[in-house]
Structure 1
């Protein structure tokens, strides 16, 4: 059923009101944050479903500030700009990822690391200085700083661009920063929503790519995505033949249960890097002995999102190499949101969901084709 939204006085979306009902968000109207000088309003066309949405909705990353609209793989059109915003004009098709604000004045921001800004506000469940709790993309509109909003190339379909805003950027940034280039040997752990995009971007950057998964079930899909090799880690001693092989291992699996980190660190070259981007619930920990690092001086690290410069490079690369996430579209309704969240949590998707038909759901569509 289409419901009209009283924009710009209010936004509306599907909000989680109780972590016990995390996969049954309800239609909710709410007031937007104050329009600051560099803010931009996006009238949303579609939004990808990310594992972060589910963990946040469940309270897996800490207490949830209810009522909360999740979603941070937003694609839509600019319908309003702040008085000093200059990057976009009305009607531009743009995307927003997991970060809605950065100060752009601290040393981190000035060094192109705005995703690590101490004053950063996430697209949802973040808190602005005035106490306003940010609301995300399963909604009619979203308001964010123009620097964290990215122009979407005409060549990329909206529902395929959505997952690039968070999932794509989350894997692209650490690949770029840790030496993924021609001649590099890169391993991708986990072929899911993050991992399948990591394979494609690593190949586009020129690397030799190996996918690691517990069984051989996804081998054919990994090779179709462009992987050069596939390793099933459920086999005892799988690591013995791969000693001193890899320049980068990128862990794209959310859960750490069953991860033999010692084995993975053993296959890295000297001073090479294991980088984890799948962020589990707060009670999960890495299980590794310091003695493991003595054999090769390996680095263990994580990575957060990516910068604006990296997002723009990602989009250019996606056009040049025809990189498109594997997406299943589900129309935005109460039932549709519930289905997407539930199936995503069960891993019943190859490999990303994107919620669509937002204009129909909210009675919007100012710049709809």
Structure 2
């Protein structure tokens, strides 16, 4: 298919007001074509909390105009002559939150890219939207008709997963799968998940799929308990409802994944849920300040505090394979692409259960 057969159009954030349901549909200039690229006709795109942060310039100044969306699934319609990954025109493919890294530029890879940890590229992590490729072109995301991404970061979607389910796996899914896998979630492990939203509900699903002995979901309100248990959690802790939750559940977990993006989290209390030598991994990224950690909470139990950022292409493939084998089914609500503005408002209001997916 020739490049001129289709236009790149999408929902553009022009300023901070775009987060208030004021994105504008318009044409945009995609990445300058390179023979390592793939063009994707977008069928589905999940709505991620990162989209809201970027639209309102919450983390850093956004390079407007910006088309957000980094949980992209669609059909490959143009494949460059030097594309990698064995993708052919007509294949169903996806793109997550990363669109580029140093890879083999300048003749050699950084250690991280060489080890398949592209998300920690020493040179530069290029975001799927609101960023710039190595050739200087701006990146545009998936609230659109088409997407152009370097083939290294385009993933073939296994047949056993519906597109609407695969889309949120490409960010929310891998953001929670990667730390669980890295910290050896599996038989013999008792795992906690703080926050039951788009990311947290995935963390519960993955922990069960990976065979954890016990999965404990932690949220503020009791209203999410039924959902947590349906997703597979064995225990639910509603911190606002039980004043003694720390005493009741202290020293009971080996690993905690914290998905909450707030600087006001009671980190000392969460750390107290860990056994000696336990680990808390933070994946939520607050824009309202820094996390406050009481030093004794770390010292008195020799616990570890860490973080984690998405996953590289090979880890995404591994995750999708697990999802297909174990029939991992995230909770998604499909929304027509034309209603993206309304969906963003509802996402910001916490109405998603637990992921909105835009459908072209």
Q: TM-score range with shorter-chain normalisation? A: over 0.9
Pick aligned residue for 2:156 from 151, 155, 172: 151
Q: Is the Cα contact below 8 Å between 2:84 and 2:152 reproduced in 1?
A: no
Q: Which residue pairs with 1:127 in the alignment?
A: 132
Match of 1:341 in 2: 344
Q: What is residue 363 of structure 1 aligned with on the other side?
A: none
TM superposition shift of 1:272? 1.6
Deviation at 1:138, TM superposition (A): 0.5
How far the C-alpha of 1:8 sits from its partner, in A, is 5.8
Q: State the shift of 1:69 in Å.
A: 0.2
Task: Give the equivalent residue in structure 2 for 1:290.
Answer: 295
Aligned CA distance change for structure 1 residues 70 and 201 (closer, same or farther; 3 Å): same
Aligned to 2:33: 35
Instruction: Give the TM-score of the pair, scaled to structure 2.
Output: 0.93
Task: Select the structure with the greater relative contact order (CA < 8 A; seq sep ≥ 6).
Answer: 1
> Displacement of 1:30 after TM fit?
1.5
| Number of residue-to-residue matches in the alignment | 349
- Corresponding position of 1:271: 277
Mapping of residues 164-243 of structure 1, within 5 Å: 164-207=169-212, 208-234=214-240, 235-243=242-250
For 2:36 and 2:125, how far apart are their aligned partners in 1? 15
Greater Cα shift, 9-18 or 93-102: 9-18
Q: Which residue of structure 2 aligns with residue 328 of structure 1? A: 333
User: What value does the CA root-mean-square deviation take over the aligned residues?
Assistant: 1.6
Report the equivalent of 2:106. none
Other structure's SS at 1:61 match: coil
- Is the CA contact (8 Å cut-off) linking 2:94 and 2:170 kept in structure 1? yes
Tell me what 2:9 maps to. Answer: 12
TM-score normalized with structure 1 length = 0.91
SS, match of residue 129 in structure 1? coil
How far apart are the structure 2 equivalents of 1:304 and 1:267?
Answer: 23
Question: Quick check: 231-240 or 71-80, which moved more?
Answer: 231-240
1:312 to 303, 314, 317: 317
Q: Secondary structure at the match of 1:218?
A: helix
Q: Are the equivalent residues in 1 in contact too, given 2:30–2:138 (CA < 8 A)?
A: no
- CA distance, structure 1, for counterparts of residue 6 and residue 31 of structure 2: 10
Please name the residue that 2:62 is paired with: 64
1:96 is aligned to 95
Measured after TM superposition, the shift of residue 13 of structure 1 is 0.7
Deviations 1:185-236 (A, max 9, x none): 0000111111111101100101110000112111111111111111111222
Aligned equivalents of 2:6, 2:313: Cα separation in 1: 29
- Residues in 2 aligned to 1:86 and 1:305: alpha-carbon distance in whole angstroms: 21
* TM superposition shift of 1:297: 1.6
> 291-300 or 169-178, which moves further after superposition?
291-300
Aligned counterparts of 2:116 and 2:244: Cα–Cα separation in 1 = 41
2:118 to 114, 127, 138: 114
User: 1:255 Cα deviation (Å)?
Assistant: 2.5
Residue 367 of structure 1 aligns with which residue?
none
Please report how far the alpha carbon of residue 9 of structure 1 lies from its aligned counterpart in structure 2 after TM superposition. Answer: 7.3
Partner of 1:361: none
Distance 2:307 2:7 in 1: 37
Contact persistence 1:47–1:75 (CA under 8 A): yes
- TM-superposed CA distance for 1:7, in Å, is 4.1
